[in-house]
Structure 1
Amino acid sequence: MNAEILAVGSELLLGETVDTNSAYLARQLASIGIDLFRKSVVGDNEMRIAAAIDEALNRADLVICTGGLGPTVDDVTREAVARALQRPLVFHQHLLDQIEARFRAFGRSMPESNRRQAYVPEGARIVENPRGTAPAFIVEDARGTVVVLPGVPSEMRYLWENAILPYLRDERGETGIILVRTLHAVGLGESVIGERLADLMAQTNPTLGISAKHARYELRIGAKASSRAAAETMIAQVEAVIRERLGSHLLGDERLDQTVARMLRERGKTLALYEGAVTAPLYRALSKEALESVRGVIMHPTDIPADDDAAQSLARTGAIDVRHRWRTDIGLALQPSGLIASDGFATVCVAIAHTGGVDEWQRRFDMRSDDVWDFAGTMALDALRQHLASA
């Protein structure tokens, strides 16, 4: 079975509300082995919602709608589903009785507008909602199955876990699993990683995808199988190939900052920082746990070296100075050059002082980028990781 999710609400389109429901449902679908091919958002408009449902049924076996089941005139998902499936809305007295009882429990009388929540498309299976006034429903149509849930996250999750999930698992036989494992890599460009793993990324099951942020890479392995054990075996086989091809650039389950924190702790190393940029990229790159190993920081953003050689020299002396000043095992320094080329690029230098001497790195970055110091922090953190690995 394959599925699509349709989130309804103009507030989602306007960016006023974040659609957390779709992310939750995506994870839930994976837990029972249902492929999710698309997520969409549509505003509170009956015709557009109906069109979106109609289009989704041309592609998917299961369409899950969230939102638009309230009592106000802009809550039109019920009408849209009925239009898309060409079924009339039918009034159910017992639903109205439940809605009125919920209002009485709060010591209030039910507004007449809530009456519209007692209507569902003809032939729909009603899913009663003890957590709110909007019942959910399931429509099994010749074209596919449409599940409609309230948009309130707590109600949606309750109804999914207690009604929809059992329905899909027990009645529709969806008992498989889609398992995802995320690995982390650093020190290679996204294109290089993509070239080395191109054949794995072309597979349909298991799948492999790459995402990048600040020169740190997430490799997501997804496997669909009839059991967790079978999916884990498939993932392990792909991971073994990735490890062989990426070598030390593959960190495993840990992020770069987590890896550095663990290595500092396991080796009992202390650290001091020299920051040559006012944004303190070294301090920002370290995790809270890693900062427990930091004994001191010197900031000299006003020292602007005239060229790349001066920047590397300042990074070297800065790393040595902070190590001696705070009597730490390691001094880590980052210093940008003051020489910015006409294309906006400049050299950023990193130095690590330790008992065996000083190790140095440098790389050119686009200084016009808002993320330049995040990229520089990644370079420095990876340099520290390499040093700790060889120590």
Structure 2
Amino acid sequence: MDAEIIAIGSELLLGATVDTNSAYLARQLAAAGVSLFRKSVVGDNAQRIAATIDESLSRADLVICTGGLGPTLDDVTREAVALAFGRELEFRQELMDQVAARFAAMGRPMSESNRRQAFVPAGARAIENPRGTAPSFIVEDERGTVIVLPGVPYEMRFLFESAVLPYLRDERGVTDVILVKTLHAVGLGESVIGERIADLMLASNPTVGISAKQARYELRIGARAAGRADAEALVAAAEATIRERLGANLTGDETLAETVARLLAERGQTLSLYEGTSAAPVYRALADTPGGLAHVRGAMIHPLDRPTDEHAAASLAHAGAISAADRWRSDLALAVQAASTPDDRGFTAVSVALCHPAGARQATRHYDLRQPEGWDFVGTLALDLLRRYLLGETE
């Protein structure tokens, strides 16, 4: 079964509300073995919603809509679905009774406008909503199936799990499994990674994709099979090939910061930090990771107080690492120092240094620190330098 999701609500188009429902449904559909083709967002306009439903049904067997089931005049999803299927809306007394019972349980009077929520397209299968006042429904014809759920997230999740999943499994025979595994890579550009695993990215099952996130790269392996064991075997085979081709540039299931935190713990090593910028990219990356600061004895954040060029930045990074190690008596110290001004291209030289018992390691790169993610790249460079040392790699 192939599916599309339509999130309905002008507040989503205006950016006033973040569409978390589609992300939830995408994960649930994948776990149920349903391939998701597309996600769409449409405002509260019956004609546009109906047109989007028609378009989705031309590509997919299943369309799931969320939102627009409230009692006000701008809640037009019921009308839009009826229009898409060429049906009239019909009143269901049993749904009206459910809505009335919900208001009675809350000890609140029911408005006349709530009567709108008891209408569904003719022939639709109604889904009772014990968590709210917006009953849902399923409509089927020869083109496919449209399932309409409330936009309130906790109501939508409850109905999907309690009603939609059983419907898909018991009545539509959805039994496949889609398994997704994410690996993390550093130290190589997206284009280089893409070239090394190009053949895997062209395969249909399992599928492999790359996305950049916070100056690092995520590789997603997705496999579809009749059972979990078969899906796991497909994922394992693809993962083995990726590991072989990317080698030490692959951190595996963990993020870079998680790997560093684990290696410090396993090797019983302590770390101190020197950051020559208030951005503190290494400290922030570790602080955002559970247990990331467990073996960090201290951090010195010392923004530049005088003009510094590339050569001076390298010297300051080296001196900063030594100073941090001495101050906190740590086994290792990691330092970051950027030059005070960018070059004529807008790129700034940044040096990172690692002080260890046998000496030091250092690297200098040029980054566009005007971009918000610029410091993420710096943090990645520094943590990867530390990771490679902890793994015993030579320079």
TM-score, normalization by structure 1: 0.96
- 1:1-391 residue pairs with structure 2 within 5 A? 1-286=1-286, 287-304=289-306, 306-338=308-340, 340-390=342-392
Residue 388 (structure 1) shift? 0.9
Q: CA–CA distance in 1 between the matches of 2:112 and 2:345? A: 66
Seen in structure 2, the aligned counterparts of structure 1 residues 314 and 47 have a Cα distance that, compared at 3 Å, is: same
Q: Assess if the C-alpha contact under 8 Å between 1:43 and 1:49 holds in 2.
A: yes
- What is the deviation of 1:282? 2.3
Contact residue 264 and residue 290 of structure 1 kept, 8 A? no
Task: Give distance in 2, aligned partners of 1:115 and 1:81.
Answer: 18
- How far 1:127 sits from its partner (Å)? 1.2
2:272–2:296 Cα contact (<8 Å) kept: yes
Q: CA deviation at 1:304?
A: 4.2
Deviations 1:16-50 (A, max 9, x none): 11111111111111112111000111111111111
Question: For structure 1, which segment, 234-243 or 58-67, has the greater mean C-alpha deviation from structure 2 after superposition?
Answer: 58-67
Counterparts in 2 of 1:382 and 1:144: CA distance versus 1, 3 Å: same
Aligned residues: 391
Query: 1:276–1:303: 8 Å Cα contact kept in structure 2?
Result: no
**AA at the equivalent of 1:74:** D
Matched AA of 1:374: D
**Cα distance in 1 for residues equivalent to 2:353 and 2:132:** 60
Q: Percent identity?
A: 66
Indicate the SS of the match to 2:114.
helix
Q: Matched residues in 2 for 1:119 and 1:110: separation?
A: 16
- Indicate how the Cα distance of structure 1 residues 104 and 328 shifts in structure 2: closer, same or farther if over 3 A, else same: closer
Moved more, 56-65 or 365-374: 365-374
CA drift at 1:367: 3.0
CA RMSD of aligned residues (A): 1.4
Unaligned 5+ runs, structure 1? none
Does the CA-based 8 Å contact 1:189-1:215 persist in structure 2? Answer: no
Q: Which runs of 4+ in 1 moved over 3 A?
A: 303-306
Question: Helix, strand or coil: the match of 1:386?
Answer: helix
Q: Is residue 215–residue 373 contact of structure 2 (8 Å, CA) maintained in 1?
A: no
Distance 2:380 2:46 in 1: 48
TM-score computed with the length of structure 2 as normaliser: 0.96
Which segment drifts farther, 240-249 or 68-77?
68-77
How far apart are the structure 1 equivalents of 2:122 and 2:290? 56
8 Å CA contact retained: 2:310, 2:339: yes
Residue 268 of structure 1, CA deviation = 0.9
Deviation for aligned residue 1:348? 0.8
Query: Any conservation in 2 of the 1:305–1:338 contact (CA below 8 Å)?
Result: yes
1:340 deviation in Å?
Answer: 2.6
Once the two structures are superposed, residues 296-324 of structure 1 have per-residue CA deviations (whole angstroms, 9 ceiling, x without a partner) of 22333224464322221221122112212
What are structure 2's unaligned runs of at least 5 residues? Answer: none
Alpha carbons of 1:32 and 1:313: their partners in 2 closer, same or farther (altered >3 Å)?
A: same
Amino acid at match of 2:353: A
